[in-house]
Chains A and B, each alone.
Chain A
Amino acid sequence: MWQDILKTAIVGTERNALTIPTRNDALGDVLSKLGANARESSLLSAAAAVALYERAGQLPAKDSQALPVPAEADDVPYCNERAAQHLSLMLSGEYQEVLPEWLAKLTQAQQLVPTETLPQLLDVGLRTTELRESIIRVIGKRGLWLARQKPEWKYAIGQIDEATWETDSHAARLALIKKLRMQDPAAATQRLRSSWQENSPKERTEFLEVLRTNLSPTDEEFLEFALDDRSTIVRQAAAGLLRHLPESGFVKRMVERVRPLVSFSRKPRNKFAVEVTLPAERTAEMLRDGITAKSPYTAVGDKAWWLTLMINAIPFTFWLEFSGLTREQLIQAVRKSEWEKMFLEAWLKSGFRSGDIELIEAILQHSSLDITWTVLARGMSAPRLDELLIALLKNHQRTNFMEIGGQLLIARQSEWSQELSMVILANWEPIYAHLLKRLSYYVSNLALYVNAALIPQAMAKIARHNPTDKTTENLTNILQFRADMLKEITQ
């Protein structure tokens, strides 16, 4: 009946008259009283009556589809209201750089975030993949339950699901592999191998990057398999990882290639020299080991480039054995030679790979190299990096040390050890001045990552040594906020 009224109203009563139906009910009574002569008026009256009749008479829809199984109750305590306020402040953008630390401390204290912040927090994990692991630890059973209700939040559930693995997006698979790699490294490689060829070269490269976590000799077989890849970028990624396995066949092959090309000799007056022959050709085996044909640098010839790639893969300890020289003698031998940069960079990289701080220091004492330090720092564990930083920053009078120390310091983005923090506090003024001058964007790292136990000392330092300006005010605010938030979690 309503549809008839609506149709007439749309075309207009001029073209189409409405016949008001008769009914034997209360609505019929009302409709029968509408005047037949005033057509527009009776249409509107009928519309009003029928619409109201339907509106008042509507029954709620019934639905018997299964709803998700409810969340289990959490048995871990929630953080207190003040801590919750700190969280919502960070989620709104204020002091958001402190969020990783807050999450880590909350995990340590075995507390959960309040339920109402879960959607926002799960969204943070969506954008910031590095935070996912810590987010998963503080959302509790309610959070895991919620994550199951929205496909985008699937990262939080984390189990590799046989059913959806095949159909998942690359990003979702990558996140799952990352998580699996942390829990069961071998299972992660196994899983990758099962569907390896279905991925594009770029995707395969990204999967290989995941293996950097918990890399061990047991991965060699898979990496050798990846060296057979048709794509250059995949082979290079595999080669990059194999360098971290000094006992691998890959490193041995590189050693054998280089052995006939390099020799060290003693010269009069306790001097040493290096002699280098360039490789004559690039074999198919070399191609497989990630040695590309063309040098990317105009200043470096193709053959020198091949050699560089080989030497980069060789651990420094080989050279000690090979030459019978000491560390100092080796450095002295290559210095001032045309191969200085090639050798020192390769040795430095080896030093970062093996965590040989003395070697790094020795090379830096003699040479200033133009290297992306932040990338190198990524290959080193946090405690080792802290040790290196201590060594460098203690000797900050050397411009070289301060420069590189500063670069490495800003790459070290989580709470610093007490020892490192103490060294920084003891040398506060030059370090602060250097960062302000050269890396001003990162000055706030001093407040963000100084060891929590030393926050009062850091505040005292700032108050004593630095003029009150926007920068120091910001540092003090961050330190104060950290102190406040830590107090609420730990008390």
Chain B
Amino acid sequence: MKFTTEQVLALAPDASSAKAGQGLANARHWVTLGSDENAVWGECQGSGSKPYQTQIDLNEVAFKCSCPSRKFPCKHGLGLLLLFANQANQFKDSTQPNWVSDWLASRSKRAEQKAERAAKQSDEIANPNAQANRIASREAKVAAGLRELELWLHDLIRNGLAVPQIQEPKFWETPSKRMIDAQAPGLARLLQIAASHSVFGAAGYERMLKQLAKIHLLIEGYKRLDLLPAETQADIRTLIGFTQNQDELLKQSGVKDKWFVMGQRVTEEDRLRVQATWLHGATTKRDALILQYAHASQVLDASWLVGSAVEVELVFFASAYPLRALVKERGAIVSDLPSFELTIAQAMEAYAAALARQPWIERFPFAVQNVIPFHRDEQWGVRDAEHHILPIAPSYNKGWELLTKSGGHPVHLFGEWDGEVLWPLNVWPSEQ
């Protein structure tokens, strides 16, 4: 596996780590440097007397370092991987020292234990009756919550969106808190999105109404849950806030493929950082979304190298249009390039087909071929060979980087489409 500087820097938790990591990407800072096909390791001379021991598991790109930093990966890990990416010949040792082999062994042992635990858990459900009661009581709470929300929603429409109190945060906090209590956190989240449109005044009414209509659709759907296909039931329950049991999911057999890591985006949601990693199957041509949530002090999974490909078995969450997935088993990372086959019009068609099955889709993967980024009247967009255009999100701040990468030539682009604007995540040079 050959890493690029860009891939490694994308793993940095923040700009200062990226900077410090680049400073350490020099053999001068390292007392020892070694690598084999499974790992890279090195000892970095810090300010203390004892050098820090830094190591990277290449199979999954996992980092470990003896330094006290809370950043993950720390600057030593980033520096080591950058150095490995650019000057692999500096890594002269090829025999793993004990501190490396011990760590790798403990990692594979932990992975086994986890698998065992998962297998065991699923066998024994402690008390089937108690669990059934728990489920029944939650369903009752959610149903009651939804009835209240329905009344609130109808009141709102009866009085009209132009009522002044709609601009006040308190107006939305009440029902949204109520949904948390009713164990329907997904609806609380959807309400907050609707509330966020209120700051735009009259201009926000249109989006607000669309969002409220989505909530209404969920409430109506939940009322008739039994009449709907199982996948749609799963979508509605997930959006309301029921979680799908991940251990159960992982027992299913998954989709094995070589998955390209197409792009990654970290957003903030309710003081949580959400990392979305988009994958695309080489053979299956399916898209998959791996989500990870982290609190401020928690670290995000740094093992997905954008632009690489990994042999993985993925299990998809139940949905009428499955996108979100879990990793069941992970294989080696390989260097390979995805193929881009869709024009903008075809990508839009795929989006429409997905909406027909799952009308609540919020973000949809767009991999379009041969598009030219452009900048006109303070707005960014891309245009394909058929002269179709996709507008780029106004808040996207890497437009100039996008433009310089293309140089006015067509590039392949991957991004998230929200139904109105595109958020570019990655570009590849076109073969043309």
Q: B-contacting residues of A (Cβ < 8 Å)?
A: 5-6, 9-15, 38-41, 43-45, 47-48, 51-52, 55-65, 67-71, 80-82, 84-85, 88-89, 92-94, 115-116, 118-119, 142, 145-146, 149-150, 480, 484
Identify the 8 closest CB pairs spanning chains A and B, nearest first: A12-B160, A70-B408, A71-B407, A48-B213, A44-B216, A40-B154, A60-B388, A119-B400
Contact in complex: A85, B403 (CB < 8 Å): no
Cβ of A41 and Cβ of B407 under 8 Å apart?
A: no
Residue-wise, chain B 330-344 has the 8 Å CB interface mask toward A (1 for contact) of: 000000000000001
Interface string of B51-74 (1 = CB under 8 A from A): 000000000000000000000000
Q: Does B389 contact A (CB under 8 A)?
A: yes
Q: Is B345 an interface residue (CB 8 A)?
A: yes
Closest to B381 in A: A63
Which residue in A43, A48, A69 is a CB contact (below 8 Å) of B217? A48
- Supposing A48-B217, A56-B355 touch, asked if A10 and B205 sit within 8 A by C-beta, the answer is yes
B86 touches A59 (CB 8 A): no
Structural contact, A6 and B214, CB atoms closer than 8 A: no
Contact in complex: A89, B22 (CB < 8 Å)? yes
Please determine whether B400 and A150 come into contact, CB atoms closer than 8 angstroms: yes
Q: Is the CB of B213 within 8 A of A44?
A: yes
Assess the B153–A40 pair: CB atoms within 8 A: yes
Known: A62-B387, A85-B82, A94-B23. A115 touches B405 (CB 8 A): yes
Task: Contact check, B405 vs A65: say whether CB atoms are below 8 A apart.
Answer: no
In the complex, the answer to whether A10 meets B401 with C-beta atoms within 8 Å is no
B160: contacting residue among A11, A68, A484, CB under 8 A? A11
Size category of the B interface is 35 or more
Known pairs A51-B210, A80-B86, A119-B404; list 19 more (Cβ under 8 Å). A6-B206, A10-B161, A12-B158, A38-B154, A40-B157, A41-B154, A47-B212, A56-B351, A67-B408, A70-B372, A71-B407, A81-B5, A81-B85, A116-B6, A116-B401, A116-B405, A119-B400, A145-B408, A484-B26
Question: B87 interface residue, CB < 8 Å from A?
Answer: yes
CA–CA, A272 and B168, complex, Å = 91
Which residues of B does A touch, CB under 8 Å?
4-6, 15, 18-19, 22-23, 25-26, 28, 82, 85-87, 150, 153-155, 157-163, 202, 205-206, 209-210, 212-214, 216-217, 220, 344-345, 348, 351-352, 355-356, 359, 372, 374-376, 381, 383, 386-391, 400-401, 403-405, 407-409, 419
- Minimum CB–CB distance for A291 against chain B, Å: 52
A149 near B401 with CB under 8 A, answer: no
| From B28, B158, B160, residue with most partner A Cβ within 10 Å | B160
- B343's closest neighbor in chain A, by CB? A60
CA distance A300 to B372 in the complex (A): 69
Contacts A55-B355, A69-B408 given: A9-B419 contact, CB under 8 Å? Answer: no
- Can you list 29 residue pairs at the A/B interface with Cβ under 8 Å? A6-B205, A6-B206, A9-B205, A10-B162, A10-B202, A12-B162, A40-B155, A40-B157, A41-B220, A44-B213, A45-B216, A48-B359, A55-B355, A56-B351, A56-B352, A59-B348, A61-B389, A63-B383, A63-B388, A65-B376, A80-B86, A81-B4, A81-B5, A89-B19, A89-B23, A92-B22, A93-B19, A94-B19, A118-B404
